[in-house]
Amino acid sequence: MSCHHRLAICFILIFSAMPVKATDTDELRKELQQLKQLLQKLEQKIEQQERQLAEQKLNIENVQQDNDEKSTRLAMLEQNDDRSDGIRLGGAIRTNYSHTSYNDGNKNRGGDFDFDIFRLNLSGNIGDVILNAEIRFFDYMTAVKFAYAGYQLSEDWQVQAGITKVPFGNGSYNSHNYFFSTNYYLGLEDDHDLGIVFKRQMADNWQLDLGFFKNDELGGVDGYVSSRADRYSYDIVGYRLNDDGIYDDPTQPLGEYNTLSGRFAYQFAHSSDFITEIGVSALAGGLHDGIERAGDYNAWALHLNSFFNRWNLQLQHGEYHYNIDNVNRIAVGAYAFYDSIAASAKTSTFNLAYSLPLEWGPVTGLQFYNNYGLVYDKSDNSRDTMMNVTGFSVAAGGLYTFFDLVHARNQPFIGGSGSGNSAETERRFNINLGYYF
């Protein structure tokens, strides 16, 4: 309300308080009533003008604020663009403690604590090209896990070329523990080869990966390497004759080549906290002895990966076949040593995990799990391979630690071989401590 408006009201009040004659009372009251009505209209008009002015001021302030926010967002986007165009360096240092039932010296010492790996990760992009690589340094070997260049073809499709992951089975891993599943030691989990992959990212509830791999990551059967066992991923390196030892260097070399691989997955969203992915995977390729084609190989799997609140259930079943005349045992290589597997077998896994977020000092999360795997119906008539891992992992800042209790039969790294024939169940208690940067 303006000062003129307030002054007029004061005059009215003073005037109404003055003595008047009775004959003039009615006329005076009428004039006062008219004057009050006029002042009320004037007051309403003034208040309306004041509201309009206030709204205009607010609109101006909002426009200025929007412009400031737009400028800030633009500056942040420009900064992000500057940061994203380049290569970022990361990695990990890991150590390992183990106490085993199958090594008397280890038991007498109360277990062994060893250096595990030092690894470097390079990731980022230069322009529109995506770059990603990981190299691992062990005491006994150096291995490139993956190294590829990628390009986003469209909103949903990406292509990757180089040493890249073979699409097969539950992803990203068909396991929760440090030792992976029994499929890893068959070359059917977290396998990386030299080729090209087209990846359709999850959209409209489905995903598709298609890959063509010329050969394994070490150049195939005649790759120029000092040892074909110095690798991260398990691959075929030869075949076994009846009198060959399980761990012998292969004298009959073989290598996979021209492999086609595909993985299809469909996702069901039962609710906001209950999601299930079902899928099918298959691969097929040739086997070469360095001179000519020696046979072929194939594998398939059905898989399920379900998340309900903090629970995760993984199921997978499949078969693999290396088809070579008169051969029922295959030599494989990884981690600087050779092992053997049946030329054909069935494989099933069952994994259950529970994730618990928490704030306890530096600890930000725990995951409890039990992973079970079985390889059976082997072509070499050896006993089943079984591995059960019960444990939990701890995330604390840059530290990530696995605590695993493993019981297994005929399982690599648990006192056995993928083509062993033991009836004994071995045990290994393992702690793997890693610092990731």
Instruction: Encode pLDDT of 277-334 as tens digits.
Output: 999 999 999 999 999 999 999 999 999 999 999 999 999 999 999 999 999 999 999 9
pLDDT at 79 over 70: no
The residue with greater pLDDT, 77 or 322, is 322
Per the listing, tokens 């896994």 go with 349
Instruction: Encode pLDDT of 91-115 as tens digits.
Output: 999 999 999 999 999 999 999 999 9
Percent of the chain surpassing pLDDT 90: 78
Which of helix, strand or coil describes residue 46?
helix
The residue with greater pLDDT, 322 or 6, is 322
Which of helix, strand or coil describes residue 242?
coil
Instruction: Encode pLDDT of 81-96 as tens digits.
Output: 444 689 999 999 999 9
Tokens read off for 32: 């006062």
Least confident of 35-44, 201-210, 283-292, 363-372: 35-44
Helix (H) or strand (E) holding 254: none
pLDDT at 51 over 60: no
Residues 87, 124: contact at Cβ < 8 Å? yes
Classified by CATH at the fold level, domain 87-436 comes out as Porin (2.40.160)
pLDDT at 7 over 50: no
pLDDT at 419 over 50: yes
| Average pLDDT value for residue range 203-228 | 95
CA dihedral 24, 30, 32, 34 (to 10 degrees): -150
Instruction: Encode pLDDT of 125-149 as tens digits.
Output: 999 999 999 999 999 999 999 999 9
Per the listing, tokens 């290569």 go with 87
| Average pLDDT value for residue range 386-394 | 98
Neighbouring C-alpha atoms within 13 Å toward the C-beta of 71: 6
pLDDT at 208 over 70: yes
The residue with greater pLDDT, 44 or 377, is 377
pLDDT at 9 over 90: no
Instruction: Encode pLDDT of 158-184 as tens digits.
Output: 999 999 999 999 989 999 999 999 999
User: Alpha-carbon distance 162 to 146, whole Å?
Assistant: 8
Q: Which pLDDT score is estimated for 46? A: 56
pLDDT at 220 over 90: yes
- 319 φ, ψ (degrees, to nearest 5): -140, 155
| Average pLDDT value for residue range 234-251 | 95
In the chain, count H helices and then E strands. Answer: 3, 19
Instruction: Encode pLDDT of 243-279 as tens digits.
Output: 999 999 999 999 999 999 999 999 999 988 999 999 9
| Average pLDDT value for residue range 15-37 | 55
Q: Which pLDDT score is estimated for 29? A: 64
Which of helix, strand or coil describes residue 14?
helix
Indicate the average pLDDT of the chain.
87
DSSP string, 246-277: TTSPPSSB-EEEEEEEEEEEEEEEEETTEEEE
